[in-house]
């Protein structure tokens, strides 16, 4: 069974969702992320995908105090991403309680640092964030699209111990129109041993069922929970 991973995206310490990564298409949902995280925990969820959108834009970790609060006041296993661009950022995130860290922009812009993290911490703790537009990697909060192909980047990091990738099709994210099933199928076919976590576009329970059937390691659900197209109670059968 795939792991169900609710998402909290942070701007100025508050829960928000963007549409297709556009900071101008921001919708705020909750002032207090801890209330949201505790609600997830109360419904039996065990994992949390926490994204520092301020950090992604600033190219350094910003909302680490929120991470520290959620890690200390819940039992959720947190993976943290957004703005982790240096050894110092990584140190802060570990100290604040993240169990895994997702690197996206750094995997493209500062490959030697990111590869060193795999050597130091191992593939269980470091996740490759692959945000894509037309299978090309998008970085810095999706504000910039590179010419690097998704599968080239994955293969490069498999060589240094990559085990997990969170893959988001930017075109799908926040649209509540369903995830990129074909993309995930292609990824599974090419890399059957890679633990692929689907993100973006998950909008109904049937989406969750279909992704589970595909054998993905995890399914990140964000906007659908906040807009209640998927209710937390609906997820109990997947836990």
Residue numbers annotated as active site:
9, 131
| 3-state secondary structure (DSSP) of residue 186 | helix
Rounded Cα–Cα distance for residues 50 and 85 (Å): 16
Structure-block tokens of residue 210 = 């279909």
Q: Are strands 136-139 and 144-149 parallel, antiparallel or unpaired?
A: antiparallel
Nearest to 51 by CA among 217, 222, 226: 222
Distance (Å, whole) CA 238 – CA 12: 32
- Quick check: 201 and 170 in contact, CB under 8 A? no
**Six-digit token pair at 75?**
């039992």
Structure tokens that stand for 182 in this block: 């074909």
Cα separation of 172 and 144, whole Å? 17
């Amino acid at each position: 069974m795939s792991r169900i991973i609710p998402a909290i995206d942070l701007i100025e310490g508050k829960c928000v969702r963007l549409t297709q990564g556009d900071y101008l298409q921001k919708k705020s949902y909750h002032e207090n992320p801890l209330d949201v995280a505790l609600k997830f925990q109360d419904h039996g969820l065990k994992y949390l995908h926490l994204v520092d959108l301020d950090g992604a834009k600033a190219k350094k970790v910003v909302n680490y105090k929120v991470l520290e609060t959620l890690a200390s006041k819940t039992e959720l296993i947190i993976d943290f991403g957004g703005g982790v661009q240096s050894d110092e950022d990584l140190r802060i995130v570990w100290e604040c309680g993240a169990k895994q860290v997702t690197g996206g922009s750094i995997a493209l812009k500062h490959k030697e640092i990111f590869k060193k993290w795999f050597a130091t911490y191992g593939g269980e703790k470091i996740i490759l964030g692959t945000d894509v537009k037309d299978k090309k990697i998008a970085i810095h909060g999706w504000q910039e699209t590179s010419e690097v192909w998704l599968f080239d980047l994955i293969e490069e990091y498999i060589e240094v111990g990559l085990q997990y990738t969170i893959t988001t099709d930017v075109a799908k994210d926040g649209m509540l129109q369903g995830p990129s099933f074909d993309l995930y199928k292609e990824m599974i076919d090419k890399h059957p041993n890679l633990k692929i976590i689907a993100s973006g576009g998950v909008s109904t329970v049937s989406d969750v069922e279909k992704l589970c059937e595909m054998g993905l390691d995890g399914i990140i659900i964000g906007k659908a929970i906040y807009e209640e197209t998927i209710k937390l109670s609906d997820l109990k059968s997947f836990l």
